[in-house]
């Protein structure tokens, strides 16, 4: 299976390394308007072809798919261009700037007969997958409460300085991942409320957000995110999870342990991550999840079924982001849009 990587920025390196570690797939070309970036990727990864323009790439290369790792404002044009050329699409989150725009892209890809999947990797982190598996296996009964927490003081602006200038920051860039985990655990959301803060005076957007979600199944979850929390050791990039169910509770802690509490007592499980040989701390958890997502996408593509994070599924995560900003602006409860 042949693909192309569109965008050669900071995170795209993880995607490229992950593709090269998976059997039966080849990234035959890369594309980036910056000559230094595309030359670096071409040399570092032994890619035979590099292009400045995606249109030229798609006209010259016979591909099965494209992996769009370019900035969000470029996504709409690139998705439509790829769909016009009949190739399947993976697009980095957030794949559109609004639910309306996302809906139009989903429908356009369906009309063109190509699949649209979103690179949403947090639910594919090994420890998160293990929590999801145990909840779906009914090990704690029906969940009624959850907390998904991502709080640290990591200097995210050093490697991605544009984030300091974003008017919408932590919910759109990071919270979207944590909200997707909440959906994977408890299902879709009926209503939500949200409060945000800006602690770092040198940035434009919010760096702290706390949300309360009421899910369709009656469960309540708290999603909280912070890049202004100082802890030693810093838990970055771990997501911590607490879930209470009718028959027991699950706790995923910062020491990479999973605690299963029931009336019979407590079981402790060490969550062992199979790290890629190219991974580098502290990014190992995320880099492993990139491999896991891309392997899942390949498996689904070969089976002719939608990936778990298809465009249609991810629409409901993106709608939660939009609803969160509305709730924070208006200090009220919002019912998010829903794909139907």
What is the per-residue pLDDT across 80-97, written as a single tens digit (0 to 9) for each? 999 999 999 999 999 998
pLDDT mean across residues, the chain: 97
Average pLDDT over residues 278-297: 96
Cβ atoms of 198 and 206 within 8 Å: the answer is: yes
Q: What is the value of pTM for the model shown?
A: 0.96
Average pLDDT over residues 299-314: 97
| DSSP type of residue 123 | G
Q: Is 220 helix (H, G, I), strand (E, B) or coil?
A: strand
Q: Does 2-119 match 122-276+306-330 in CATH topology?
A: no
Q: Does domain 122-276+306-330 have CATH number 3.30.360.10?
A: yes
Model confidence over 158-191: pLDDT tens digits?
Answer: 989 999 999 999 999 999 999 999 999 999 999 9
- Per-residue pLDDT of 47-93, as tens digits, reads 999 999 999 999 999 999 999 999 999 999 999 999 999 999 999 99
Helix (H) or strand (E) holding 119: strand 116-119
pLDDT in tens, 211-257: 999 999 999 999 999 999 999 999 999 999 999 999 999 999 998 89
pLDDT at 272 over 90: no
> Do 28 and 87 form a contact (C-beta atoms < 8 A)?
no
Domain map (residue ranges) of the chain: 2-119, 122-276+306-330
CATH code, 2-119:
3.40.50.720
Report percent pLDDT > 70 for the chain.
Answer: 100
Q: What is the DSSP string of 186-208?
A: H--EEEEEEEEE---TT-SS-SE
Average pLDDT over residues 314-319: 98
**What proportion of the chain, given as a percentage, has pLDDT over 90?**
96
Q: What is the 3-state secondary structure (H, E, C) of 158-170?
A: HHCHHHHHCCCCH
pLDDT at 247: 97
Write down the pLDDT at residue 274. Answer: 83
Average pLDDT for 268-275: 88
């Amino acid at each position: 299976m042949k693909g192309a990587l569109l965008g050669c920025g900071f995170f795209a390196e993880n995607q490229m390394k992950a593709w090269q570690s998976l059997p039966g797939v080849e990234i035959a070309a890369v594309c980036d308007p910056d000559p230094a970036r595309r030359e670096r990727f071409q040399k570092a990864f032994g890619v035979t072809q590099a292009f400045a323009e995606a249109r030229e790439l798609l006209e010259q290369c016979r591909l099965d798919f494209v992996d769009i790792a370019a900035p969000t404002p470029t996504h709409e044009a690139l998705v439509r261009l790829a769909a016009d050329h009949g190739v399947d699409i993976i697009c980095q989150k957030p794949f559109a700037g609004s639910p309306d725009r996302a809906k139009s892209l989903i429908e356009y890809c369906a009309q063109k007969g190509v699949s649209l999947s979103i690179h949403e990797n947090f639910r594919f982190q090994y420890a998160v997958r293990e929590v999801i598996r145990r909840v779906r296996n009914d090990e704690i009964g029906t969940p009624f409460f959850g907390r998904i927490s991502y709080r640290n003081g990591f200097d995210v602006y050093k490697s991605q300085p544009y984030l300091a200038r974003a008017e919408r920051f932590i919910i759109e860039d990071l919270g979207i991942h944590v909200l997707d985990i909440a959906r994977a655990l408890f299902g879709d959301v009926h209503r939500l409320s949200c409060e945000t803060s800006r602690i770092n005076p040198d940035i434009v957007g919010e760096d702290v957000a706390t949300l309360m979600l009421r899910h369709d199944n009656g469960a309540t979850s708290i999603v909280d995110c912070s890049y202004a929390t100082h802890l030693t050791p810093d838990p970055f990039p771990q997501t911590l999870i607490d879930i209470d169910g009718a028959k027991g509770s699950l706790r995923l802690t910062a020491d990479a342990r999973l605690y299963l509490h029931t009336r019979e007592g407590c079981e402790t499980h060490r969550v062992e991550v199979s790290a890629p040989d190219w991974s580098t701390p502290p990014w190992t958890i995320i880099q492993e999840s990139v491999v896991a997502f891309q392997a899942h996408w390949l498996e689904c593509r070969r089976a002719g079924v939608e990936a778990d994070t298809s465009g249609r599924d991810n629409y409901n995560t993106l709608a939660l982001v939009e609803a969160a900003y509305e709730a924070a602006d208006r200090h009220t409860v919002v019912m998010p849009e829903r794909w139907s």
